Amino acid sequence: MAKTKNENTGGIRVDTEHIFPVIKRWLYSDKEIFLRELVSNGCDAVTKMKRLVSLGEASFDGEYRVDVVLDKTLGEIRVTDNGIGMTRDEIDRYINNIALSGALEFIEKYEGEEGDAAGIIGHFGLGFYSAFMVAKTVEIHSLSYRPGAESASWTCTDAGEYSFSAGERTERGTEIVLHVSEEEKEYLDREKLLGILRKYCAFMPVPIYFSVLGENGEEDGKPVNDPEPLWLKSPQDCKDEDYIAFYHKVFSDENDPLFYIHINAEFPLNFKGILYFPKLRDEYASLDGQVKLFYNQVFVADNIKEVIPEYMMLLRGVLDCPELPLNVSRSYLQNSGYVTKISNHVTKKIADKFNTLFQTDREKLAAIWDDVKPFVEYGCTRDEKFFSRMKDIILYKIHSGGYMTAPELLEANKDKGSDNTIYYTNDPQQQVGYLSLFQEQGIKVAVMDGVIDSRFLSFLEMQDHAVHYVRVDSELDKVLVSDEVAEEDEALLSLFKEVAPEGVTVKEEVLKSAKMPAVITLSEEKRRLAEILKQYGSSLPGVKAPEDEVTLVVNRSCPLIARISALAAKEESREKALSLAKQVYRIALIAQRSFTKEELQEFIDASIDLLYNA
């Protein structure tokens, strides 16, 4: 710093360069934080004053406050607090020297680099100087709480020239006056300033009043912030309504959240917060989660993915982490062991919440399950610890109604011969024919029709080799085929072999149900393999498309098949048997997958024909 010519004036310089142009250029993108910095300095000054009062070193029993005043006529923004104030010496020390040395260090380190400006200024105690991002001249008028202190006034231009003058302030506290520069006139606007205050200062610990000189606004007389945010309260003192109301207000979402978690992590993590699971409009809706990170009630940033596990990015909420430096940079977050611990703690709390719901309010868990399922599944596949905490309470939606865990589902189907198989449908509409067969046998089927369900099932099988997941159209053997063996019907078999396209295996079985004359099945494993190959857009030699790998099971317990068999046995009625068998195949096909255009046309024509000849 250039030494001052006389004791009242000085120059804030870095050798030949002025620091202000550098700061300005550097911080260009995050200009609006100047107000956060000044208001939070005001709050700090008030907090210090409160402490002195509580220690008996000062006295005051009025209202503590910070005022932000917009004076359009003079082109000024004024930030005033009634905190501890500063003497002239203190301004010299804290503003001229300490803040300056922070600025110097900042420039030495970052000059010439591009990047996360808001992410580092706090490291360097540059908060106050951010005022120069919008002001051409800044004044400080302060009166210290110290008995007998004289007020002090300081003015500094954006060229870094400062001067002290006789103090003007008569009340304890500090007023910062920004003479907004011509280029930054947009900040001389009610909505602009209110917007910044609401974004960054909404939960600062001291009531903040905003006013525009000569104008009335809806906020007149009321603080723009909530100095005692819900997350700082003890969960025992908060009611359900409080959490819901807080959610509505902070996230402007008129829907209620599905549930919330109030985190109050003690030493050594020492952070507080409330996390909400929002109700999603539908599975494909954009995941517009929003977790706001605070540092001692000062807003730092939204959606810090380093703090929240990626699969929980749809959460909304607030986290107040006083252990994090105020203006943390992303690279700091990425490499911080502390952040990993926060993230683990959050994950644990979420899993705990699910477990508590499972234990104490299973109905509620079932009611929200469809909404949270994609994230639970995704989380399980991404995070071992989360999976180990969740694995026993993962629910399956049962096609016939209700929700069950895997052991419950296996238990329910135990005496139906299902062993360790969980039957599922990934398309209850298309697979309705099969579902009715299962329902008839009283076998419960899980609905797995979500986007990541099939991947999740494979994941579960890898975790627990004992349990298999089988789609309802895959295997009938264990549960739907009866023990009865019918005498082989050669004529019938050859008839159906004639009807089925090449490559389709035809076999006859006595099914427990007489409902369907024939059913198409395809192996679970082969289908999955084909699906994977399809995903990667490739094929393997020797692996056919799944539709070519199907089996046509002719149901010998169905009366219609008995009739066709009788017709097939006689030469004169074989033609008729053939047309019926064709139609039976088509019905089996439409129960398994949708028709192609040609198949549909054939089906319509054949149906009309059959009706005509009936």
Residues near ligand ADP, by CB under 6 A: 37, 41-42, 45, 81, 83-84, 86, 94-95, 99, 122, 125-128, 174
CB nearer to ligand ADP: pick between 36 and 527 = 36
Least CB distance from residue 77 to ligand ADP, whole Å? 14
CB nearer to ligand ADP: pick between 89 and 490 = 89
Which sign, positive or negative, has the C-alpha torsion 472, 477, 483, 486?
Answer: positive
CB nearer to ligand ADP: pick between 141 and 399 = 141
CB nearer to ligand ADP: pick between 43 and 318 = 43
**Nearest CA-CA partner of 23 in 141, 137, 120:** 120
CB nearer to ligand ADP: pick between 45 and 553 = 45
- Whether the CB-CB separation of 232 and 203 falls below 8 Å is answered with no
CB nearer to ligand ADP: pick between 87 and 521 = 87
Least CB distance from residue 84 to ligand ADP, whole Å? 6
Q: In angstroms, rounded to a whole number, what is the distance separating the alpha carbons of residues 260 and 22?
A: 44
CB nearer to ligand ADP: pick between 32 and 81 = 81
Least CB distance from residue 99 to ligand ADP, whole Å? 4
- Whether the CB-CB separation of 291 and 317 falls below 8 Å is answered with yes
Least CB distance from residue 144 to ligand ADP, whole Å? 9
CB nearer to ligand ADP: pick between 43 and 301 = 43
* DSSP characters over 255-269: SPPSEEEEEEE-TTT
Query: Where are any strands of DSSP class E within 435-494?
Result: 446-447, 468-471
Least CB distance from residue 68 to ligand ADP, whole Å? 12
What residue has token string 């309260």? 233
Query: Where are any strands of DSSP class E within 98-249?
Result: 135-143, 152-157, 161-166, 173-180, 208-212
**Nearest CA-CA partner of 558 in 511, 498, 592:** 511
Q: In angstroms, rounded to a whole number, what is the distance separating the alpha carbons of residues 520 and 528?
A: 17
User: How does 353-364 read in b/e, with b if 16+ C-beta sit within 10 Å?
Assistant: bbeebbeeeeee
CB nearer to ligand ADP: pick between 84 and 457 = 84
Least CB distance from residue 98 to ligand ADP, whole Å? 6
Distance of CA 11 to the CA centre of its chain: 49
Query: Where are any strands of DSSP class E within 393-437?
Result: 396-398, 403-404, 421-425
Q: In angstroms, rounded to a whole number, what is the distance separating the alpha carbons of residues 370 and 397?
A: 8
**Nearest CA-CA partner of 156 in 1, 48, 380:** 1
| Residue type (1 letter), 202 | A
Which residue's CB atom is positioned nearest to ligand ADP?
Answer: 127
Least CB distance from residue 107 to ligand ADP, whole Å? 15
